[in-house]
Structure 1
Amino acid sequence: MGGAETLLVPMIVASRDTDMQMDVMGVAPESANSEKTMAILANADIPTRSLGIRRLLDPVGVPRLAAVIRRGNYDVVHAHLELAMTLAVPAALIARRPAVCTFHHVTGRLTGRAAGRERLAVEAASRSFRTLFVSEASRLSFQQIYRPRRMPANWEVMHNGIDITNFAPGKPNPVVRAALGGESRRVVLLPAAFRGFKGIPVAVRAWPDVLRRFSNAVLALVGGGEGEAELRSLVDELGLSDSVLFVGVRTDMPEIYRAADVVLLPSIYGENLPTVLIEAAATGRAVAASRIGGIPDIVVENETGLLFEAGSEQGVADAVCRLLGDADLRGRLGAAARERAINEFSAPVWVDRLRTTYLEAMGARR
């Protein structure tokens, strides 16, 4: 239905070069499937099925899934997200198959039904062979709420991977560079949905300080969303319409990254493992980002990028200006970031780690 589901595409595509075969099943009815997600899966030639479970406590859910597991003679069941793992772990137990579970978010203190659903998922996942979290921040957030005394032995961090094939360093496309502000300007790219937790207003309010030090700097906002009107109002209020550009949603992101001097992500909360930072790293771009959530899993401070405190306008301005003022630093950080992206966050690396986990889960069955 969203980000976590579409992340399965590079994983499954990469698995085709191994001895693994992965089948995909959504636990909800077909009507719950996002058209966008289904199109992405279809374009990758990934067939899907839907189990048709409408509610968590549907009495036929677990036995129906157990029957699917038996008929398919699957070696391992890998459940992604809360509803799937709550059903899959007992179903796999009935079918006498090992289960692996992955949480894709940083959690907080929930209330009401949401809290109950997540607690059930944690209890189920903790009884699987391996519970995976895609960042250290995610694992720690779940420990603080659900296992404050001791981290369960089967809770591990395994970073997601992406298809980095098209994200490679290269010369900027002059047309794209012009859309981001032009060759004569220093381009800072902020790729993000216009949502509150992305911290875009912090970057906008920091921009006058950047301009005092680099008068030809431009902040290119690539994305869109519900917060656009408010952002435009803030830009107008600060008189920044010539130096803060709204570029819109783009489908040519590799070219966009290559046309930027610096990539900025000033998120203030909620980030787990932002894909845009992996993409930027794979393209060899120098990154400045907030020290929050799973961002430090991607950006190693002073090695592959610069980090600043979340919500700090001064931190944004100082990090951006340090990068804009030092081409050698940008080159060194960008090269190291690309190497880390290839070795840590590429889909083949992710699949290789999953394969090892699956074989461990299979035990004698392997």
Structure 2
Amino acid sequence: MKPLKVLQLLPALDSGGVERGTLEIARALVSAGHESVVLSKGGRLVEQLQREGSRHIARDLGRKSPTTFLQYRALRRLFEQERFDIVHARSRMPAWVAWLAWRGMPAQTRPRFVTTVHGMHSVSRYSAIMCAGERVIAVSDTVRDYIRTNYPPSRWPHLADERITVIPRGIDPAEFPRDYRPSEEWLERFRAEFPQIGQRKVLTLPGRLTRLKGHHDFISLVAKLVGEGLDVVGLIVGGEDPKRPGYAKEIRERVQTEGLGERIVFTGHRSDVREIYAISDCVLSLSSTPESFGRTVLEPLAMGRPVVGYAHGGVAEILGELFPHGAVAKGDVEAAAKRTADVLTNRTPAARPNDRLLLERMQAQTIELYRSLHAI
């Protein structure tokens, strides 16, 4: 088959799930002999993208300003010059500019247009652009249901079910292998950096310090387990949100006020999250709003580490498939503490092996969608 030429668009290439997914598809395209191009304003991941064989076009289409829309003419010229087979928009503002450029081209010569709904944005005309693709990828059943509920075909006739394809995100088993154990050197360094851990049972809450991630519930859970005589330490693994420094200060002050300074550790942003999962006796997911997927639940479960979490959104899907005992109702800290205690006292079954939510499968399904759409 003729190789495809695929353009992915997103605001920047710094960090995050959308950026990671973009690089994963770019890598798969190159590996399969296709031409991969990514358009963004740039960022620290550009070097990796290019090293892995893709081309990067620097253009800022992510700034939420009326002037950004005016770039559609220049983008249309780029489409005409490059003759992409597929244009894949992954974020709202770049999707708007790409759609304005694309719709003004002759149907016979324009590329095929794909969008991915990565998250459950506020429902609006602005957000609806993520459902404008000739094919719309939903990263979970939760996201598909969100699309069906909020953008029904009665109001959005083009969004019939045949246009929506669920392609769950996946992980690489080689990156998060089952029963992985970190090196003695790493363990020694980590315990020296955080001596509060000692020989205690380790509970981990991954995620940036934002209010939605449930840090207050985590603090309450740790306090309850300590009060019941369990020797635990809680790791809050994630960097502060530079836009909301007050929240980080708030939860740090609560930890001190409640006398939990030796029981709750703030690690900041870490690049060794795999090793942290490996030493965790239980990982928690306590987000107050539903996640579209739940990578920080899938990663430790794939490694065989138990996870207790609020069963809504994509987290409910993953727990239901791999570790049903870890699912509790949203906001029920008492139930989460009880399930965590069950985990710590070996009263739960092991997590089931992950044989479906795999990176290779996600890559193959996405490229097959490109091929099938291009063939129409």
TM-score range with shorter-chain normalisation?
0.7 to 0.9
Q: Which residue number in structure 2 is paired with residue 155 of structure 1?
A: 164
Which among 194, 204, 213 is matched to residue 198 of structure 1? Answer: 213
Secondary structure of the residue that 2:301 maps to in structure 1?
helix
1:266 correspondence with 2:286: yes
Q: Which residue number in structure 1 is paired with residue 137 of structure 2?
A: 132
Whether the 8 Å CA contact 1:261–1:285 is kept in 2: the answer is yes
CA distance in 1, matches of 2:93, 2:69: 14
**Relative to structure 2, which stretch is displaced further, 100-109 or 142-151?**
142-151
Alpha-carbon deviation of 1:105? 1.0
Which among 89, 92, 110 is matched to residue 96 of structure 1? Answer: 110
1:13 correspondence with 2:27: yes
CA distance in 1, matches of 2:27, 2:34: 11
Which structure has more relative contact order (CA 8 Å, sep 6+)? It is: 1
1:70 correspondence with 2:103: no
Alpha-carbon deviation of 1:5? 2.4
**Relative to structure 2, which stretch is displaced further, 94-103 or 186-195?**
94-103
Change beyond 3 A, Cα 1:57–1:241? closer
Which among 233, 240, 258 is matched to residue 253 of structure 2? Answer: 233
Q: Which amino acid aligns with 2:116?
A: T
Whether the 8 Å CA contact 2:237–2:269 is kept in 1: the answer is yes
Which among 82, 107, 119 is matched to residue 121 of structure 2? Answer: 107
Q: Which residue number in structure 2 is paired with residue 175 of structure 1?
A: 188
Secondary structure of the residue that 1:219 maps to in structure 2?
strand
CA distance in 1, matches of 2:198, 2:257: 27
Change beyond 3 A, Cα 1:299–1:181? farther
Q: 1:228-249: CA deviations, max 9, x gaps?
A: 2211211122222222222222
Unmatched tracts of structure 1, length 5 or more:
110-114
Alpha-carbon deviation of 1:106? 1.1
CA distance in 2, matches of 1:301, 1:176: 35
Q: Which residue number in structure 2 is paired with residue 112 of structure 1?
A: none
**Relative to structure 2, which stretch is displaced further, 233-242 or 171-180?**
171-180
Alpha-carbon deviation of 1:274? 3.0
Moved over 6 A (4+): none
Whether the 8 Å CA contact 1:267–1:292 is kept in 2: the answer is no
CA distance in 2, matches of 1:24, 1:86: 16
1:166 correspondence with 2:175: yes
Alpha-carbon deviation of 1:296? 1.9
Change beyond 3 A, Cα 1:57–1:305? farther
Q: Which amino acid aligns with 2:281?
A: D
Q: Which amino acid aligns with 2:175?
A: N
Q: Which amino acid aligns with 1:64?
A: A
Q: Which residue number in structure 2 is paired with residue 345 of structure 1?
A: 358
Alpha-carbon deviation of 1:359? 1.5
**Relative to structure 2, which stretch is displaced further, 132-141 or 259-268?**
132-141
Secondary structure of the residue that 1:101 maps to in structure 2?
strand
Q: 1:81-122: CA deviations, max 9, x gaps?
A: 11222233454452432111112111234xxxxx44223x15
Change beyond 3 A, Cα 1:261–1:181? farther
Matches within 5 A, 1:193-342: 193-225=208-240, 226=245, 227-300=247-320, 303=323, 306-326=326-346, 329=349, 332-333=350-351, 336=352, 339-340=353-354
| TM-score in terms of structure 1 length | 0.82
**Relative to structure 2, which stretch is displaced further, 13-22 or 217-226?**
13-22
Whether the 8 Å CA contact 1:267–1:290 is kept in 2: the answer is yes
Change beyond 3 A, Cα 1:314–1:259? same
Q: Which residue number in structure 1 is paired with residue 5 of structure 2?
A: none
CA distance in 2, matches of 1:360, 1:161: 21
| TM-score in terms of structure 2 length | 0.80
Q: Which amino acid aligns with 2:139?
A: V
Alpha-carbon deviation of 1:68? 2.2
CA distance in 1, matches of 2:305, 2:298: 10
Whether the 8 Å CA contact 2:290–2:315 is kept in 1: the answer is no
Change beyond 3 A, Cα 1:59–1:217? closer
Alpha-carbon deviation of 1:170? 2.0
Identity %: 21
1:117 correspondence with 2:126: yes
CA distance in 1, matches of 2:120, 2:25: 21
CA distance in 2, matches of 1:324, 1:231: 25
Q: 1:258-284: CA deviations, max 9, x gaps?
A: 111111111111522233223223322
Aligned length in residues: 341
Q: Which residue number in structure 1 is paired with residue 89 of structure 2?
A: 79
- Determine which structure has the larger helix proportion and give its number: 1
Whether the 8 Å CA contact 1:10–1:163 is kept in 2: the answer is no
Q: Which amino acid aligns with 1:145?
A: N
**Relative to structure 2, which stretch is displaced further, 350-359 or 13-22?**
13-22
